[in-house]
A and B are shown apart, each in its own frame.
Chain A
Amino acid sequence: MTTADLLLQQLINGLSLGAMYSLLALGFTLVYGILELINFAHFNVFMVGSFIAMWTLQMFGLTGQDVVMTGLPLIGVLLVTFAVTMTGSGVLGVVIERVSLRPLRNVKGPAAMITTIGVSYILFNLILLGVGADSKNFPNPLPQAELHFGDAVLRLREVLIWIVASVLMVGLWLFVQKSKMGKAMRATAQDPEAARMMGVVVDRVIVMAFFLGSALAGAGGLIFGLYYNFTSFIIGFTAGLRAFTAAVLGGIGNIPGAMAGGIIIGLIETMGGQFISTAWTDVIIFSILVLVLVFRPAGLFGRLAPSKS
Chain B
Amino acid sequence: MITRRTAAKAAMGAAAAVALGVEVTPAQAADKEVTVAINLSLTGADAESALRIRNGALMAIDDANEKGAIKGYKIDVMLLDDGTATAGQYDPAQAATNARKMASDKSVVAAIGPQMSGAGKAMAPILSQADLAIITPSSTNPDITNPKFAEQYRPAGKAIYFRTVTTDAFQGPNMANYFAETLKVKSVYVLDDSGAYGVGLADAFQGQADKKGIKIAGRDRLDPKAADYTTVLTKIKSIGPDALYYGGVLQAGVKLVKQAYDIVPKMIKSGGDGLYGPEMLTAAGFPAADGWYATNASPHMVEDSKLDGWMKAFSTKFGMQADDYTITAYDGASVIIDAIKRVAASGKPVTRSNVRDAIQSTKLDTLQGPVSFDANGDLVSKVVSIFQVRHDTAYPADDMIHQFKYIGVAPEA
Say whether A135 contacts B255, CB under 8 Å: yes
Q: Is A170 an interface residue (CB 8 A)?
A: no
Question: A residues bordering B, Cβ < 8 Å?
Answer: 1, 5-6, 9-10, 13-14, 17, 64-66, 125, 128-129, 132-137, 151, 155, 224, 228-230, 233-235, 237-239, 269-270, 273-274, 277-279, 281-282
Interface positions, chain B 67-118, Cβ under 8 Å from A, are: 85-86, 88-89
> B288 contacts which chain A residues (CB < 8 A)?
65, 229
> B231 contacts which chain A residues (CB < 8 A)?
10, 13-14, 269-270, 273-274, 278
7 nearest CB pairs, A to B: A273-B231, A279-B221, A1-B238, A135-B283, A135-B254, A133-B45, A133-B44
> A151 contacts which chain B residues (CB < 8 A)?
237-238
- Asked if A133 meets B223 with Cβ closer than 8 Å, knowing A13-B234, A230-B283, A270-B231, the reply is no
- The contact sample of 25 A-B pairs, CB cut-off 8 A, is A1-B240, A5-B238, A133-B43, A133-B89, A134-B45, A134-B279, A135-B254, A135-B255, A135-B284, A137-B282, A137-B285, A151-B238, A224-B227, A228-B259, A230-B255, A230-B283, A230-B284, A235-B227, A238-B226, A273-B232, A277-B220, A278-B220, A278-B223, A279-B221, A279-B223
- Asked if A273 meets B285 with Cβ closer than 8 Å, knowing A133-B44, A133-B89, A135-B254, the reply is no
Shortest C-beta distance, A208 to chain B (Å), equals 29
Overall SS of chain A's interface: helix
Question: B residues bordering A, Cβ < 8 Å?
Answer: 43-45, 47-48, 85-86, 88-89, 194, 220-223, 225-232, 234-235, 237-238, 240, 250-251, 254-255, 258-259, 262, 279, 282-288
Say whether A125 contacts B250, CB under 8 Å: no
Say whether A281 contacts B254, CB under 8 Å: no
Name which residue of chain A comes closest to B192, CB basis.
A279
Say whether A9 contacts B85, CB under 8 Å: no
> A270 contacts which chain B residues (CB < 8 A)?
230-231, 234
- Asked if A133 meets B88 with Cβ closer than 8 Å, knowing A234-B225, A278-B220, the reply is yes
Say whether A230 contacts B234, CB under 8 Å: no
A264→B279 CA distance, assembly (Å): 34
Say whether B234 contacts A238, CB under 8 Å: no
- Asked if A64 meets B285 with Cβ closer than 8 Å, knowing A10-B234, A229-B258, the reply is yes
Say whether A269 contacts B228, CB under 8 Å: yes
Shortest C-beta distance, A127 to chain B (Å), equals 11
Shortest C-beta distance, B90 to chain A (Å), equals 11
Beyond A230-B254, A234-B88, 14 extra complex contacts between A and B, CB < 8 Å: A5-B238, A9-B238, A14-B231, A129-B85, A136-B283, A155-B262, A228-B255, A228-B258, A238-B223, A238-B225, A239-B227, A269-B231, A274-B235, A279-B221
